[in-house]
Amino acid sequence: MPRFAANLTMLFTEEPFIDRFEAASKAGFKAVEFLFPYAHTAQQVRNAALEAGVQIVLHNLPAGDWDAGERGIACLPERVGEFREGVAKAIDYATALGVAQLNCLAGKAPAGADPATLRATLVDNLRFAAARLGAHGIKLLIEPINTFDIPGFYLHGTAQALAIIDEVGSDNLFLQYDIYHMQRMEGELAATMQKHLPRIAHIQLADNPGRNEPGTGEINYAFLFEHLDCIGYSGHIGCEYKPRTTTTAGLGWLTGL
């Protein structure tokens, strides 16, 4: 059976962030992930996880001004200094929290920007981050995101992400495969995950349409979970969905596994 991680940014939002660790534990989760820990001290987050008895398996590098609509800065040439400072900050948190992998959000391509410059900036930043994280035993991940939900997001397909990984040339750069985003952009979920399994370090889920819990849309999650077991996926699957009602009411899909 797959191992699921509660995404505390999407689930248990009825609770303050620090209280969501305990809520996830009470719901039966042994692991959690979230977008960012940086609004709290590393010690506060660590204490909440330890008290709840849950493992933190993933969070993101700093991604610019989220509240203003930024969704990453790694492809932006004028933000390289800020990106590198964010890498150092993320390593400090990940080390304190025992997090073994960090995700890098590429960001949105500005209108009229030169595609070659954006790609070169992203590649250089990923080389830098992969080396710095690798020195601390932390994996670096990149995630393609659909351009319906985030118009202009630079990294939006599996093939594109893998080509960038190849260009970076690091053995410490992996793919974060989000089933919901890739269903919207390209489909072929089972075949893609099987083909590229050695390069996938983390998987996330939500159903489509609506980005709600499994069983509310068109994706056959019972099949996909069995498929992931059959092909030998051993990582966590992050539950990055928006419950239709409350988090607890939406967890019924787990009982049938």
Q: pLDDT per residue over 69-91, tens digit each?
A: 999 999 999 999 999 999 999 99
DSSP bridge pairs for 205: 239
CA distance 143 to 176: 5
Tell me the average pLDDT across 36-65.
98
pTM over 0.85: yes
Q: What confidence tier does 58 reach under pLDDT thresholds 50, 70, 90?
A: very high
* pLDDT the model gives residue 255: 83
- Is the pLDDT at 127 greater than 90? The verdict is yes
Counting residues of the chain whose pLDDT is more than 70, the rounded percentage is 100
* pLDDT the model gives residue 206: 98
Which pLDDT tens digit goes with each residue over 171-188? 999 999 999 999 999 999
8 Å CB contact between 251 and 27: yes
- Is the pLDDT at 8 greater than 80? The verdict is yes
Burial 82-102 (b: 16+ CB within 10 A, else e): ebeebbeebbebbeebebbbb
DSSP bridge pairs for 59: 102
Q: List, in order, residues 6 or more apart from 115 with CB less than 8 Å away.
A: 109
Among 83-92, 153-162, 246-255, the least confident range: 246-255
CATH T-level assignment (fold) for domain 3-256? TIM Barrel (3.20.20)
* pLDDT the model gives residue 256: 72
Average pLDDT, the chain: 97
- Is the pLDDT at 1 greater than 80? The verdict is no
8 Å CB contact between 203 and 238: yes
Residues assigned a catalytic role: 143, 240
8 Å CB contact between 200 and 233: yes
Q: What confidence tier does 117 reach under pLDDT thresholds 50, 70, 90?
A: very high
Q: What confidence tier does 225 reach under pLDDT thresholds 50, 70, 90?
A: very high
Q: Where in the chain are the domains?
A: 3-256
* pLDDT the model gives residue 59: 98
